[in-house]
A and B are shown apart, each in its own frame.
Chain A
Amino acid sequence: MPTFQGNTIQDAIEKGLAQLKLPQDRVNVKVISEGKKGFFGLGKKPAIVHLEEKNVTVTNIKPAASAAPVQAQSRAKAAKSTAAKPAGKTPKKKAVAKKGPAKKAAASKKKPVPQKEQPKKPTRDDQIAISTATLHLTDITARIGTPTTVTVDRVDKTHVTYHLQTDKEGLLIGKHGKTINALQYLTQVYFNHNAHSKILVTLNVGRYRERREATLTRLADKAAREVIATGQPVFLDPMPSFERKQIHAHLADNQHVKTHSEGVDPHRYVIVTSKMTGF
């Protein structure tokens, strides 16, 4: 159970590998302490890793600590992304596996429809709607100029998330998510028309929604602090309903402030007020 220290995680791993005389893919790395750079030498902490020789090489360890995470945020991100990966992969496989038969099903189901003399009643099937929406999304994003790989994640019975992977995230997201929100709305409308049950659709580009949620939480906290300090209500910028919802939900636990929304979509905005002054 050898542990090693270094200025950064990478540094510590390298030291350990040198001592053990093993290549990196032969060891399991367990990070015990990530280390801190400190400020002018204050609060500096060494990075500590625990290296263990592998008996069977099942997975090749990627240099997860290549960019020695100094900030807690990037560390959390890295942890999240690695945690999310296996979770994300299974639906991907499913989606790929589904696509084939679902497509066929869509084709075979479409054919008999005109024969039934009810051409106006579309087939309302959730699975078909989900998979054809995937195809439409791939098509549309390619035409926008941001070719994407779309993976479906059926969160639960009433919620579907499409993960869009692209090189040009910014172009697809637009300013404050303008483009992706528009596309999400259209997808929602498509589902309202074509799915059998009520399904809520979310489009996520890369980790945009997570990033945005973090921004909104920060914004909400900042507004709450200002309200408590000054007693004056704070008006936030206009945002779409699901983002306002996140703000309301986040500040619902706060005992000192209340939130409500005013204005008409798309310029509806959240107002944070103090509970003390009583409005």
Chain B
Amino acid sequence: MTDVEGLIMALVQPLVRHPEAVKITQSESDRFIEFNLHVAKDDIGRIIGKQGHVAQSIRTIVYGVKTGLKKRVRLNIVDA
């Protein structure tokens, strides 16, 4: 249904300095479909934000969408 990867991209790319370095890989665990977000090293702070507020907001929006998937979505921000 909803293209979660595209949504994450649309949310993240405006916020980073290196939009071309944003990558998402997908993996599946027994309860979640996990989206692993990779960004350029100096963009990690921007994506997490003060007190993790930015990361939290991104997650709020991503977890809120109807995915039509059987498992819940999880967004991991991959550090280094």
Contact = CB atoms under 8 A, between A and B. Distances in A.
Interface in A166-195: 174, 178-179, 182-183, 185-186, 189-190, 193
Nearest to B6: A143
Contact of B65 (A120, A139, A145, A193): A145
A38 B10 CA distance: 54
B6 A186 contact: no
Contacts of B66: 145
User: At the interface, is chain A mostly helix, strand, loop or mixed?
Assistant: helix
A144 interface: yes
A144 B57 CA distance: 14
A143 B14 contact: no
Interface string B21-49: 00000000000000000000000001001
A136 interface: yes
Interface residues of B, number: 23
A140 interface: yes
Contact of B64 (A144, A189, A193): A144
Given A178-B60, A178-B64, A185-B54, A144 B17 contact: no
Nearest to B59: A182
A122 interface: yes
B57 A140 contact: no
A185 B50 CA distance: 12
Nearest to A146: B65
Q: Which 9 pairs, one residue from A and one from B, show the smallest C-beta to C-beta distance?
A: A182-B57, A182-B60, A143-B7, A185-B57, A136-B14, A140-B10, A179-B64, A139-B10, A186-B57
Interface of B: 1-3, 6-7, 10-11, 14-15, 17, 46, 49, 51, 53-54, 56-58, 60-61, 64-66
22 contacts: A133-B14, A140-B11, A140-B61, A143-B3, A143-B7, A143-B10, A144-B61, A145-B65, A145-B66, A174-B64, A178-B64, A179-B60, A179-B61, A179-B64, A182-B60, A182-B61, A186-B15, A186-B61, A189-B49, A189-B54, A193-B15, A266-B56
